[in-house]
């Protein structure tokens, strides 16, 4: 347990930050899942529309350093390739 006031405050902040980051990470996974569902349905136009929104979410979360920028690039690249393969 934290003994100093500073350590207690950092512990409180860590809990709040963890909760926020978990929420953002969940949003990321959901957006990727939506793109994958559109791809599996075989609808390229819908997949493209959802992919554009997902790209925005992925970039925002990478900017906040919740995921690494290379991981963000990898997700976008693989989703894009899967959409192009539908054509």
Domain residue extents for the chain? 5-85
Count of C-beta atoms within a 10 Å radius of residue 57: 18
Residue at token pair 């997949």: 47
Low-confidence residues of the chain, pLDDT below 50? none
Residue 1: the pLDDT is 75
Q: What is the pTM of this model?
A: 0.86
Q: Which CATH class is domain 5-85?
A: mainly alpha
Residue 78: the pLDDT is 97
Q: What gap in Å lies between CA 70 and CA 9, rounded to an integer?
A: 33
By the 8 A CB rule, do 71 and 79 touch?
A: no
Give me the percent of the chain exceeding a pLDDT of 90: 94
């Amino acid at each position: 347990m934290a003994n100093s006031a500073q350590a207690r405050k950092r512990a409180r902040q860590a809990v709040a930050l963890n909760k926020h980051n978990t929420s953002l990470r969940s949003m990321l996974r959901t957006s990727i899942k939506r793109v994958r569902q559109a791809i599996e349905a075989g609808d390229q136009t819908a997949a493209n529309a959802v992919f554009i929104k997902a790209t925005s979410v992925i970039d925002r979360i990478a900017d906040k350093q919740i995921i690494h920028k290379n991981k963000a690039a990898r997700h976008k690249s693989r989703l894009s390739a899967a959409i192009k393969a539908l054509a």
